[in-house]
Amino acid sequence: MAEAETAITEHRHRLLEGMARAVAAKGYADTTIADVVREAAVSRRTFYEHFATKADCLVALYEAASHNALRVLRQSIDPGRDWQGQVEQAMQAYLACLAQNPVLLRTLFIEILGLGPTGLAVRRRMNGELADFMLQVINGEGRARLQPELAMMVVGAVNELVLQAIEQDRVRDLTQLAAPAASLVRAVVGR
């Protein structure tokens, strides 16, 4: 039983990687399921055992990558530091995580919107998780410094900075945005 579960997990992981490579090479609109399974080195049947559609696979890729970035954020928090120090440290870790895979970053920040309402919904859901995390860090121990709407605004602003870096081919410099992003949070909280 454990071997079967490991194979399922491995196949799903390979399919997600295959989707990332195929979309990076051709764009989402021109990517076919045949492209994904070729990149993943699995059968079409295996694809359909995991995903009903190409869009479902891209959504799963987006969710997996977003949850990985959120995991990096959580691990970067040092409760011994004040919230300002935690925010800067978290921004640095988050942006470094995004910069590690420029191809995937482009796929997730740009191609997800090619799914229309479905892509927008998953993007908003993941941005909501990031905003909730920010609220937990800043408003911890009963301190109410930041409202949910403002946390979402900060997430949106950081996303726009990342999109600009992608468009200008400056993904390798993403960590340079950590200090301005942390300054934004401090300004919003200190209003």
Asked if 22 and 36 touch (Cβ cutoff 8 Å), the reply is yes
Instruction: Tell me which of 5-9, 104-108, 146-150, 167-171 is least confident.
Output: 5-9
pLDDT value, residue 55 = 96
Residues 27-73: tens digit of each pLDDT: 889 999 999 999 999 999 999 999 999 999 999 999 999 999 999 98
Asked if 93 and 73 touch (Cβ cutoff 8 Å), the reply is yes
Residue 2 buriedness (CB in 10 A; 0-12 / 13-18 / 19+): exposed
CA atoms within 13 A on the CB side of 126: 23
Distance CA 48, CA 18 (A): 14
Asked if 185 and 154 touch (Cβ cutoff 8 Å), the reply is yes
Asked if 178 and 91 touch (Cβ cutoff 8 Å), the reply is yes
All domains in the chain, ordered by first residue:
1-51 (1.10.10), 54-189 (1.10.357.10)
CA distances from 6 to 13, 20, 56, 113 (A): 10, 21, 21, 32
Token digits for 3? 């071997």
pLDDT value, residue 6 = 66
